[in-house]
Amino acid sequence: MPVLTLLTAYLVGISHRPTGVGYVLQTDPKINITIPATTVTKALQALGEASHIGLAASVQTGSDVITMKLSDVPLSEVMRKVADTLDATWRQEGDTYRLVRTADQQRAEKNEEFQDQVNKIKKSLKKRADELTKSPNWNPALAEQLATKVKALIKTFNPRQMNSSFYQQASQLSQQAPIGRAVTKIVMMMPPEDLASIEPGYRVVWSTNPTATQRPMPNGVSQIVEDFISAQATWQDAVSKYNVTAPTFNGATYWVGDFGDFQGNQNSGKIEVILLSAQKWSRESGLNLELNAYDAKGKRVAQGQVTLGNAYEDQAEILEMTKEAKPLPGEPLVNLPTEASEILKYRMRQGRPGSKAADELPSALVQKLLHPEKTDPLAILITPELFQVADIKKVNLIASLPDTSFFGPMSMMMQKNTSVPVDTLLKRLKYFSTQFEIKDGWMVIKPLAPLDSRESRVDRKELGQYLRRIATGQPLTIDESAAFALILPEQDHNYLPSQLASMFETSSHQYLDQNALKFYGLTTAEQRRAMAERGVPFESLNEKQLEIVNKLVYGNNNQLQYAPQEQNGYDPESFDLFYNGLMHEATESLPNGIPPKGLCKLQIDSSNVIKTGEISTPNYTMPGRTYDANTLAWQKYGQEHPEFFPWMNDENQKIDFGSLQFGKRTLIIFTFQFTKALSTSLSLEDSSTANFRKVTLSDLPDDFKKQFDQAYSDYQKSYANAKPGQFNGNQKGQGPPPL
């Protein structure tokens, strides 16, 4: 039977993910080659030259990144391993064999990753169900016992100390409270497939009284709700009896655990509405669920949280993968190559004034980093170490690495040592979204979620253009930043661009909101004029623009703001209901979706401002801040009076008034007005300080100084008779200070 007929029969007979080689090569030469991380297109070209057989990539596989180290292995076996590793298939085209990823394979890959998420959620649910089964039935005595434990724990709370043990105890006790039990019982009624199907970036909300943007609670949940309402009343009684209150420091009250807000029982304690929300950040991340209970007035009575489907739920497993391990006598070590050592040493000292890779790293290495389309970043840091692993284990290597494997495994292990036990390296590699298998003379490494890894991978050509622009030392314009935001992956999904870019900046890069940049980049000049003059209704936005607006409202981070437009429209009770109650849930405050007639408005402000210098500590670098005359006066008054504003005791909240710069900045603000009281906004600020000059408070320009002095005087008068804890001064109707 001809080779092509064999291949056709192989493809037609597919019933699950098809991989491998569906034909017999006319010749099967032995291959000896080492290929550092590069695109599949380049790797197959090199492999073809070594074997004298035509090998090529396709559109589906060409931009994948692959690494090989092969020693005296038949080409047919190499081709089979390449196809298996990349979830692909070889297809013969004349004298050339092309690596493709068929539609069947892509569907199978997607289904496999989905089923993996389902299995993780099932595992999490079983664990929680087992814990719930072991818990004693809720009763008044148990409520009082829990209240005493919570009160004792709260006494140890210190907001200035990051005590992981405290939060672990709080989480454990939270699960014993009625809300913790209820969220477990309700989630257990959800089909795991429904939970696994939730798309990253968006929230899904279930309700006992659903709106058009919510889903109804699952059938049979009514009994759980009734039991919870009864148990919560018992818990409220215990909280009152033992006077359990939230911890307060310097006038600020902190929410601790999921027991309730303890705010003097301001809510009625009678539950009217229960909401369950679910969200996840990426396909690989776990699913975060939150249960909130509200009284008839919309005040929150209780809150509970649970996370399902994490890749590593077992803390012991995480500790095993991340712990430092001393090599055993005679145990083989992986040594840090010279270029990797240079990069990691630079990363360790990065942040000092004037530190820049172009000045402190060898020029040849700098050029490699700036041209990732020629030398893949993974070829510099991680694959050289994997080649050593292959030699130590005496195996052939095929690796398809996600971008997350750059920096991660090596930086965590090599901060103190220049070598690491080989098995420790492999365990750590697993922690960074990869899986590996050593079997039958092969070590195969691939992403835990290949589909997600490919979709979030940064294009090396686009990455190179971005890095070389950053390396010029000139701040990006807003238009440039917007253009890059539209072609580079989001930082939450791929941090490789920002990690590499930080090496070529003399100072910390001012963060610009990615949604704002994308929305700005998607708007035309005509749209901007219309937004500035009269506003553009949401129904006129295109699909991509409207998707960003939807994420602002119904995405993982609800950015709705409550600000009545009418004069004297500020209502403290409504304000509290929106920020701390039921109306904070976007599917309640905007229950029917984005109103088509709502307006998107644009304001471009070019005015004089003060910028502060960076604040550097051994642990972090805080970027400079921008102030107009009014907010600068507020900052100065606030720092001078921490008795009114206790958060000013935190050094991170202070600025150095001896390190100021004065100049003109451009501020772009998109305002999305949904109703008369509900809106949100996106803003972009030109971060360039090229035309700024150093000033002090005493030599501010006359007009700016006059505004500053007047604002400062107004704050002095406003707080003249205030007492500690009265954050809003003593003037009737005065709103929150301009933080």
Does pLDDT of 727 surpass 80? no
Does pLDDT of 15 surpass 80? no
451-510 pLDDT tens trace: 888 988 999 999 999 999 999 888 888 999 999 999 999 887 888 998 899 888 755 445
- Residue-wise burial string across 141-174, b where 16 or more C-beta atoms lie within 10 A, e elsewhere: ebbbebbeebbebbeebeeeeeeeebeebbeebb
Whether pTM > 0.85 for this model: the answer is no
- Please give the C-alpha separations between residue 591 and each of 150, 207, 521, 558, in angstroms, as whole numbers: 36, 12, 29, 14
Which residues does 392 contact at the CB level (< 8 Å), separation at least 6? 332, 334, 422
Label residue 352 by pLDDT band (50, 70, 90). Answer: low
- Please give the C-alpha separations between residue 626 and each of 255, 641, 647, 662, 663, in angstroms, as whole numbers: 30, 21, 19, 10, 10
Please, are residues 190 and 137 in contact by the beta-carbon 8 Å criterion? no
Label residue 6 by pLDDT band (50, 70, 90). Answer: very low
Label residue 313 by pLDDT band (50, 70, 90). Answer: low
Query: What residue spans in the chain does CATH classification 3.55.50.30 cover?
Result: 3-101
Please, are residues 32 and 70 in contact by the beta-carbon 8 Å criterion? yes
Does pLDDT of 356 surpass 80? no
- Residue-wise burial string across 322-348, b where 16 or more C-beta atoms lie within 10 A, e elsewhere: eeeeeeeeeeebbebbebbebbbbbbe
Please, are residues 396 and 443 in contact by the beta-carbon 8 Å criterion? yes
91: left (phi > 0), else alpha (psi -120 to 50), else beta? Answer: beta
Q: Which two tokens stand for residue 139?
A: 């009763």
127-141 pLDDT tens trace: 888 888 888 889 999
Domain 3-101 in this protein, CATH class: alpha beta
